[in-house]
Copies of this chain bind each other. A is one copy, B any other.
Amino acid sequence: MKEINAGVRIKEIVPAVSNNGDIIAAKVDGVPVDLDRPLSKDCSLEWISLNSPEGLDILRHSTAHLMAHAVQTLFPGTQVTIGPTIEDGFYYDFKRDESFSPEEIEKIEARMSELAAKNLKISREEMPRGKAIEFFRRLGEDYKVEILEDIPDETVSLYREGDWVDLCRGPHVPSTGVIRAYKLTGVAGAYWRGDEKNEMLQRIYGTSWSTREQLESYLRRLEEARKRDHRKLGAELGLFMVSDVIGPGLPIWLPKGAVVRSILERYIVDLERSVGYQHVYTPQLARVDLYKRSGHWDHFKDNMYPPMRFEDKEELVLRPMNCPHHIMIFQHELHSYRDLPLRLAELGTMYRYERSGVLSGLSRVRAMTLNDAHIFCTPDQIQTETVGVLRLIEQVYRNFGFKDYWYRLSLRDPNDKTKFVDNDEMWNNAERCLRQALSEVGVSYEVGAGEAAYYGPKIDVQLRDVLGHSETLSTVQLDFYLPERFGLEYVDRDGYRKRPVMIHRGVISTMERMMAFLIEHYAGNFPLWLAPVQIRVMTVTDAHQEYGRKVYEELRASGWRVELDARNEKLGYKIREAQLAKIPYAVVIGDREVKDQTVSPRRRGGEKMEPSSVADFAEALTQEIARELQGRPI
Contact = CB atoms under 8 A, between A and B. Distances in A.
Contacts of A285: 247, 250, 318, 367
Contact of A309 (B306, B325, B559): B306
A247 B283 contact: yes
A250 B316 CA distance: 11
A550 interface: no
Query: What is the interface residue range for chain A against chain B?
Result: 35 or more
A474 to B, nearest CB: 22
A366 to B, nearest CB: 8
A368 to B, nearest CB: 10
B314 A356 contact: yes
Nearest to A248: B314
A616 interface: no
A289 B259 CA distance: 29
Nearest to A327: B245
A308 interface: yes
A282 interface: yes
A255 B243 contact: no
Contact of A246 (B245, B254, B266, B325): B325
B245 A289 contact: yes
Contacts of A581: none
Contacts of A279: 255, 258-259, 262
Given A246-B286, A266-B266, A312-B196, A254 B356 contact: no
Contacts of A278: 255, 258
Contact of A634 (B245, B258, B284, B559): B559
A103 B291 CA distance: 44
A328 B246 contact: yes
Nearest to A280: B258
Contacts of A266: 266
A321 interface: no
A287 B246 contact: yes
Nearest to A269: B262
A253 interface: yes
Interface in A255-312: 255, 257-259, 261-262, 266, 269, 278-287, 289-290, 293, 305-310, 312
Nearest to A326: B252
- Which of A281, A286, A289, A325 has the most C-beta atoms of chain B within 10 angstroms of its own C-beta? A281
A398 interface: no
A252 B322 CA distance: 12
Given A310-B353, A312-B356, A329 B250 contact: no
A506 interface: no
A633 B329 CA distance: 38
B243 A332 contact: yes
A234 interface: no
A241 interface: yes
Contacts of A320: none
A246 B290 contact: yes
Contact of A250 (B283, B293, B305, B633): B283
B241 A253 contact: no
A207 interface: no
A349 interface: yes
Q: Which 5 A-B pairs have the closest CB atoms?
A: A255-B278, A253-B281, A250-B283, A246-B286, A306-B308
